[in-house]
Amino acid sequence: MKWRDKDINEPNVFLEEDFYTNVDKNLKIDETLYENKSNKRPYDKFDKNSRIKFYVILTLIAALVIIIFACIFIKSDREIVKYESMAKEYYKAGNYKEAAVIYEKLYEETGNIEYNIERSNVSRHIEADEIIREASNEVKLGGYEKAIEILLTVNPLDDTTANRVFQIKSQASSKWLSHIEKDIEDKKYQDAKTEIMRFLNLQPNHEQAIEIKNKIDNKLY
């Protein structure tokens, strides 16, 4: 074995500069390892493919949530349109109470002031309808004067309401005047005069009533 021209009996001597050189190399290696370890972040454990899968899943979940909310909104919107149509049909048919209930429910669910306005409008129809029914019952009972008094308080909200008021008032007037003419036939002129004046107090421009009054006056005077 060759010892680089050194005597085999010569002792192996370590130079000081070799020692420091080795120590310096080891320190640099340790520093590099420390830097690499300290620069690691929590999500570095995911490789590139794992991160892509993670983002795809998040995107799908977000899309699913959006679709669910969209479906709920569409369903709710369709329900509103459905109930609006029902309320209008009830209104046209004169079923005002049913229409009012639906408009009130729509207002509670949506907070839309238009539904509250419609409910108020329908409520006025309900009130008018009740008054007309009361007047109609009075006519059946012979309370012609009271029936006309009641009908004069009705606000004709539309043609349908106005026509109903006109028909019942005409019926009450006709029967009342027939009763007065019967008094004239029975020569109860004073009773007839009292009744015709009460009639004209409610309907001063009624032509038939004016003629009957003149007839009574001719009999009395």
Summarised one tens digit per residue, pLDDT across range 192-208 is 999 999 999 999 999 99
What total of structural domains would you count in the chain? 1
Residue 122: closest CA among 84, 78, 164: 84
Cα angle 28-31-36, degrees, rounded to a multiple of 5 = 130
Place 48 in a pLDDT band, splitting at 50, 70 and 90.
low
Residue in this structure with the two tokens 């008032």, named with its chain if needed: 169
The domain containing residue 78 runs over which residues?
56-220
Round the average pLDDT of the chain to a whole number and report it: 78
Residue 11 domain flag:
no
Token pair 């108020």 is at which residue? 120
Residue 177 lies in a domain: yes
* pLDDT band at residue 164 under the 50/70/90 scheme: very high
Provide the percentage of residues in the chain whose pLDDT is more than 90: 38
Instruction: Give the pLDDT confidence score for residue 137 in this predicted structure.
Output: 96
Query: Is the CB of residue 119 less than 8 Å from the CB of residue 104?
Result: yes
Classify residue 75: in a domain, yes or no.
Answer: yes
Per the domain annotation, does 62 fall within a domain? yes
Tell me what pLDDT residue 199 has. Answer: 97
Residue 24 lies in a domain: no
Q: Give me 105's structure tokens.
A: 């429910």
**Residue 19 in domain:** no
